Amino acid sequence: MDDNDISDADNNRVTDKESDLDVRCGYGNCKPGWLQKLNQPKILLALLCIFTALQGFVVNGVNNVNTSTLERRFQLPSSRVGLISSAYDFVAAIVGIFASFYGSRYHKARWLSLAAVAFGAGSFTMALPHFTTGLYQSGDGISKTCTLSQNPEQCKDEGLQNYIYVLMFGQCLHGLGGAVLFTVGVGLIDDSVPATSSPLYLGIFYGCSLLGPGIGYIVGGNFLNIYVDFEQVDSGRMTTSDPRWVGAWWLGFLLSCGLFWIIAIPLSAFGAELPTSKSIRDNRVSLAYKDDGKSRAGSENGAISILEFPAALYRLLRNPTYICFTIGGAAEGIINSGMATFLPKFIQNQYNLAASSAAILTGLVVIPGAAGGNFVGGLVCKCMKLKVKGMARLSFVGCLLTVLFFTVLFLRCDKAELVGVDHHYINSSAEDVSLTTQCNSECNCTTLFYEPVCDSDGLRYFSACHAGCFNTVTSEKVFSNCSCVGVQPGKNISMVTTEACQSSCSLIYVFLPIVFVALFCNFLPATPSDSAILRCIHDGDRTFGIGVKKFIIRMAGTVPGPILFGSVTDLTCASWSEKCGEKTSCWLYNSEDLARNYFLLIVCCKFVSSVFFLLAHLFYVPSKPNVLHALKESGEQEYCKTEISQDGSTTDNNDVNTDVHCIMLNSNSMQTKL
């Protein structure tokens, strides 16, 4: 039996399998005709867009909005909070390999429905710590002034930091669903539409995945305006501008839980594939890397057996274009996941905003910026009919522009100098910079709660206790007889007040438009690079290829991203909250160091991604036998045949010789476009 006989036998098995696929829409035996009108790519895309928007809402929106709030509520440093975000990508990376492998062989819509159920369970799990912990302790029971007796600080371990494992488990459940959504979901979309429409469909899909975080920032930000224990106690005199404020971080998770379980219902109604999938698969143009199709054992719908797993993986890893795009995507993933987690916290620190205000403003920037970049990237690919090389060039340009506009990170509002951190106390040397000094050494002050006060010179103190104040004048807002504060001229009294620390800065309105452009450029390569990967691997390896790509991007990009950004954030901490001598969360950051660390990390990642996008452009060589198909899709075949007809070669549009002549005349120009 020769190779052609083997190929024919494989094709017959594929045809028989496809004929057995149930493509009708419905539940069990209830599949009425009127319901089949909804069994089309646009309806599938709409449902998956809602699904991916919900995924972004909870994983990259609500979760990221709560970064500083979770630090405060559970006494965690930024590097540990980064683990919560990383847990999602770690599980999604591991499960994604198997989801892409087995998801291509079984009922894809059913996989997606189960993924929505897993997302709902994860959201419910992440809300649980609110109901299993005691009331939030804001420090109202601790004296705010200097006292010679020991403060009643509780040193017993409340176990709050251990709740990070519950939050991480919830993210792991999210990761199970995300692994299916972004492998099987993307593959199902690509299988259901023509190759020329796939970039636009994927652009809309990924754009909606970024609309979700934007909505999550806004909704979650508004939830943070509600006191964390509002259903049990009143917030008292605390307002959202108080550094000790903790908002209702858990409400967003409960909301998303119900929405995920609702979207699972219509997704489960779809058949194994859409009715359009087979015809699209039969007519699809292959732009696979020229050596990628050798000894291919998989079927055209991506179903490969477990014995073919090593061969399929080998085909992907020996495709240099695929590898370069994937490594570039991993570098992009570090920035995307890190900035998504810590951008609200960055804005909060640099512009002296409450967590809720920073979250809402971040959402207003993320929605049009990131989603617009994804959509425009796909639209440019479609309108300009970009092939793999063109997509690589577009991705490279996006990287360069991103670095240029992210210089806006150095823009910040000035803050009053913090005595003991940025400035020395009176009667102390310039080298003696510490929160505890001679004038307050007997006051038994604590850094567990940050309650800043300022003097008439604009200097800021960690608390009235750290200012050495013994007396409260009015409603715990004005304090007097402060041993660490200079006497006010003509009053013969030393005073501090909480109101003097309030300052306004309008630079945030300069920052937001520029960071919008930066985010737009940052996400511009997302759709082109994903589309290029789909085009440069064989049809039978697409779903598996998506899973391998996601695995590499997550393990090398989005998993370490939040941890890296959290670590460089902790390095800039100027004042830690301490309990019983141990550091918990950070109260204050050095604004200049924070901006520098973020920018340098972004530059390093963009350098790596831009280099590998260029290498993808250089390494890509299309399969020459598929040039005719590319001409058909580009609409140039008929023009070519007209030229041949004028030369007297042939006028038969169906003549094979015409096609051969057409390829010979246009191969050079098509190689340039590809």
Whether pLDDT at 35 is above 60: yes
Whether pLDDT at 613 is above 80: yes
Work out the pLDDT band at 34, boundaries 50, 70, 90: low
Q: CA 110 to CA 91: how far, in whole Å?
A: 20
Q: Does 78 or 269 have the greater pLDDT score?
A: 78
Whether pLDDT at 293 is above 50: no
> Mean pLDDT in the chain?
79
Work out the pLDDT band at 574, boundaries 50, 70, 90: confident
In this structure, what are the phi and psi dihedrals at residue 43, rounded to the nearest 5 degrees?
Answer: -70, -45
Q: CA 530 to CA 203: how far, in whole Å?
A: 10
* Per-residue model confidence (pLDDT) at position 31: 66
Work out the pLDDT band at 19, boundaries 50, 70, 90: very low
**For residue 96, how far is the Cα from the chain centroid?**
17
C-alpha distances (whole Å) from 388 to each of 319, 378, 537 are: 13, 13, 11
Which residues fall within 8 angstroms of residue 550, CB to CB, at 6 or more apart? 92, 93, 96, 100, 179, 182, 183
Whether pLDDT at 307 is above 60: yes
pLDDT tens by residue, 472-509: 877 667 888 888 887 766 566 778 887 657 677 889 99
In this structure, what are the phi and psi dihedrals at residue 648, rounded to the nearest 5 degrees?
Answer: 85, 15
Mean pLDDT of 150-163: 67
247 exposure class (CB count in 10 Å sphere: 0-12, 13-18, 19+): buried
Asked if 531 contacts 202 with a C-beta cutoff of 8 angstroms, the reply is yes
pLDDT tens by residue, 623-636: 665 455 555 545 44
Whether pLDDT at 13 is above 50: no
Mean pLDDT of 180-186: 82
* Per-residue model confidence (pLDDT) at position 565: 95
* Per-residue model confidence (pLDDT) at position 289: 55
To the nearest whole percent, how much of the chain has pLDDT over 70?
A: 75
Work out the pLDDT band at 44, boundaries 50, 70, 90: confident
* Per-residue model confidence (pLDDT) at position 437: 82
Q: Does 182 or 175 have the greater pLDDT score?
A: 175
Which residues fall within 8 angstroms of residue 350, CB to CB, at 6 or more apart? 411, 412, 413, 511, 591, 594, 595
To the nearest whole percent, how much of the chain has pLDDT over 90?
A: 26
C-alpha distances (whole Å) from 467 to each of 209, 247, 435, 495, 498 are: 48, 28, 9, 9, 12
Domain boundaries of the chain, sorted by first residue: 38-135+162-281+297-412+506-619, 416-502, 624-673
> Tokens 């020991």, residue?
150
At the top level of CATH, the class of 38-135+162-281+297-412+506-619 is mainly alpha
Whether pLDDT at 101 is above 70: no
Q: Does 661 or 544 have the greater pLDDT score?
A: 544
* Per-residue model confidence (pLDDT) at position 449: 83
**N- to C-terminal Cα separation, the chain:** 36
pLDDT tens by residue, 351-409: 988 888 888 898 888 778 888 888 898 888 888 888 888 999 999 999 999 999 999 99
* Per-residue model confidence (pLDDT) at position 230: 84
pLDDT tens by residue, 226-259: 998 887 777 667 788 788 888 999 999 999 999 9
* Per-residue model confidence (pLDDT) at position 629: 53
Whether pLDDT at 588 is above 80: yes
Q: Does 265 or 108 have the greater pLDDT score?
A: 265
* Per-residue model confidence (pLDDT) at position 664: 42
Q: CA 85 to CA 17: how far, in whole Å?
A: 40
Asked if 286 contacts 538 with a C-beta cutoff of 8 angstroms, the reply is yes
Which residues fall within 8 angstroms of residue 41, CB to CB, at 6 or more apart? 189, 192, 193, 201, 274, 276
